[in-house]
Amino acid sequence: MCLQQKHEFEVAMTCEGCSGAVSRVLSKLAGVSFEIDLPKKLVWIESDKDVEVLMETLKKCGKEVKYNGTK
Amino acid sequence: LCSVSIAVEGMTCGSCVQSIEQRIGSLPGVIDIKVSLEQENATVIFDPSQQSPESLSEAIEDMGFESSLSE
Ligand SMILES: [Cu+2]
Ligand SMILES: [Cu+2]
């Protein structure tokens, strides 16, 4: 079992519709657990997947995404 | 060219509408898209050689919104 890293992403979410969409696309990815902070526009993802993969998945929502590194 | 109306659930504001219009509107074979927040649907004009109602609905699902073909 590998140690999972917690990645922080900034996603330009403005409302529950946005965070709902983010949560739905992430749910479709197997092996991730995540937390969303809508007011701060932050998404924390715990996963052993590549950052690139997570980034592409988040971008599917059509919002701007920025990677803040691991926390 | 064909036109299809697709039911879209989970949008809450204009920014949801905009992100769908932008992302789906930029897919190959999509000529025009109008998304209505009130009616919870998207009307898409597309080239049937490049897209189908199913592929369009799937693309909307992929963005994290619930989508279904009404007819
Ligand atoms: Cu929103
Ligand atoms: Cu919205």
Give the CATH number of the domain where residue B31 resides.
3.30.70.100
| Tally of CB atoms within 10 A around B50 | 11
Give the C-alpha separation, B69 to A8, whole Å. Answer: 36
Domain extent for A42: 5-70
Q: Is the pLDDT score of A1 beyond 60?
A: no
Lowest mean per-residue pLDDT among A2-6, A43-47, B11-15, B20-24: A2-6
Domain extent for B15: 2-69
Would you place residue A3 in the very low, low, confident or very high pLDDT band (cuts 50, 70, 90)?
A: low
Residues 12-71 of B with CB under 8 A from A: 12-13, 15-16, 19-20, 22-23, 62-65
Q: What is the pLDDT of residues B6-62, one digit of tens each?
A: 999 999 999 899 999 999 999 999 999 999 999 999 999 999 999 999 999 999 999
| Residues on chain A touching B20 (C-beta within 8 angstroms) | 62
| Residues on chain B touching A62 (C-beta within 8 angstroms) | 19-20, 22-23, 63
Give the C-alpha separation, A61 to A42, whole Å. Answer: 14
Q: Name beta bridge partners: A8.
A: A44, A69
A36 touching B (Cβ < 8 Å): no
Q: Based on the structure, what is the number of domains in chain B?
A: 1
Would you place residue A2 in the very low, low, confident or very high pLDDT band (cuts 50, 70, 90)?
A: low
CATH of the domain at A39: 3.30.70.100
Give the C-alpha separation, B14 to A22, whole Å. Answer: 16
Q: Based on the structure, what is the number of domains in chain A?
A: 1
- Cβ within 8 Å, pair B63-A21: yes
